[in-house]
Amino acid sequence: MPAYPPPMSRIILGVTGSIAAYKAADLASQLTKAGHRVTCVLTKSALEFVTPLTLSTLSKNPIITDLFAEKEGWQPGHIQLADEADLLLIAPATANILASMAHGFANDALTAIALATRAPILIAPAMNGKMWQHPATVKNVETLRGFGAQFVEPAEGMLACGYEGVGRLAEVETILQAIEAVLKAKK
């Protein structure tokens, strides 16, 4: 586990609908054990792969799954999270979320937070290799990089779809190292 600089950070962990979503549990657990305050935001499709109970237990925080399920108080919850975040990490990130973010859509809690936050955004994609290499995805990644988003490149290997190639979610340790680098650069 990398050593994180004190004080510990407020990390929003966005989880999207990828078979790699189960690795978000390990990320939430390790970040929480390191002392970070982790809030998980799941897209509707992420709920097909991982349960809110798992992530709320490991992060020790309530999970956000709905843009309109606001807490009590006057400030919209997604705006408060966007304002308080030290880092928005999206792992795994699907082609769909990359396209939504590149074009400024805010049609769920995660994309609304991504559009509203001024915190660094770190994206760890996971998808079929053909999808990752499609010109639309390549363009969306270029657009997001132009907006300042940083990426943990997908790894090569056997993909859930049965193909061999690039598109696997990077190893958790690699993502943790990238988080450490982003947080250190932010200080």
Confidence of residue 53 (pLDDT cuts 50, 70, 90): very high
Q: Is 40 a catalytic residue?
A: no
Q: What's the whole-model pTM score? A: 0.90
Share of the chain above pLDDT 70, in %: 87
What would the two tokens of residue 149 be? 């988003």
Angle at CA of residue 101, ends 95 and 107, nearest 5°? 100
pLDDT confidence of residue 138: 97
In the chain, the domains with their CATH numbers are 10-186 (3.40.50.1950)
pLDDT confidence of residue 4: 45
Element (H, E) at 41: strand 37-42
Q: Annotated catalytic residue: which of 136, 138, 161, 181?
A: 161
pLDDT confidence of residue 74: 44
Residue 166 phi, psi dihedral angles, 5° rounding: -80, 145
